[in-house]
Homo-oligomer: A and B are copies of this chain.
Amino acid sequence: MAGVNKVIIVGNLGNEPEIRTMPNGEAVANISVATSESWRDKNSGEMREITEWHRIVLYRRLAEIAGEYLHKGSKVYVEGRLRTRKWQDQNGQDRYTTEIQGDSLQMLDSRGDRAQSGGYAPQQSGGYAPQQQAYAAPASRPAQQTTAKPAAQPEPPIDFDDDIPF
């Protein structure tokens, strides 16, 4: 890598996550997250607000987590990187879309929140959303290993086989 390409978003989902499965069986999720700013207009003196919608794409384990635990209205912390992809519209014209590829995801709603909010409760019975940060697995790992030992674990404090490092 030459350089740093980092995005940090905290906001609420505007819709249910959209989940797809790739030909190779891996999951992809798209979520749309809002942030907004408000300020007092210096001419009229009135409050104004602008909302920014962030299109976020999640892969693999993060996509699965999004599909299981995120819902319209969920508040999330997402850390990722910008990725602009080129595509062609129906007229064959080049078009560009900028997305955030999420590398880390954290749910910010408390459990009670979800319990109380009815519509946002997890779909499945047990329905426990681990209040954990989930990390994206490096794509260079063989897929089977990603499955066998999901790399989406939070990076632990360094331990040297339990020899205290300090």
Interface residues of A (CB under 8 A from B): 1-12, 22-24, 26, 28, 33-43, 48, 50, 52-54, 59-60, 75, 77, 79, 81-85, 87, 89, 91, 93, 95-98, 101, 103, 106, 108-110, 112-113, 116-117, 131-133, 136, 138-140, 142-143, 151, 153-163, 165-166
CB of B24 within 8 A of CB of A160, answer: yes
**Residues on B with beta carbons closer than 8 Å to the beta carbon of A136:** 155, 158
Complex copy number for this chain: 4
Query: Which of A7, A34, A89 is the most central at the interface, judged by chain B CB atoms within 10 Å of its CB?
Result: A7
Partner of A2, one of B24, B81, B132: B132
Query: Which of A59, A84, A140 is the most central at the interface, judged by chain B CB atoms within 10 Å of its CB?
Result: A140
A145 → chain B closest CB, angstroms: 9
**Residues on B with beta carbons closer than 8 Å to the beta carbon of A117:** 112
A155 to B87 alpha-carbon distance, docked (Å): 24
A84 to B34 alpha-carbon distance, docked (Å): 12
**Residues on B with beta carbons closer than 8 Å to the beta carbon of A50:** 157
CB of B161 within 8 A of CB of A39, answer: no
A132 → chain B closest CB, angstroms: 5
CB of B140 within 8 A of CB of A42, answer: yes
**Residues on B with beta carbons closer than 8 Å to the beta carbon of A97:** 96
CB of A2 within 8 A of CB of B12, answer: yes
A87 to B84 alpha-carbon distance, docked (Å): 18
**Residues on B with beta carbons closer than 8 Å to the beta carbon of A59:** 158, 165
Partner of A162, one of B5, B41, B81, B138: B41
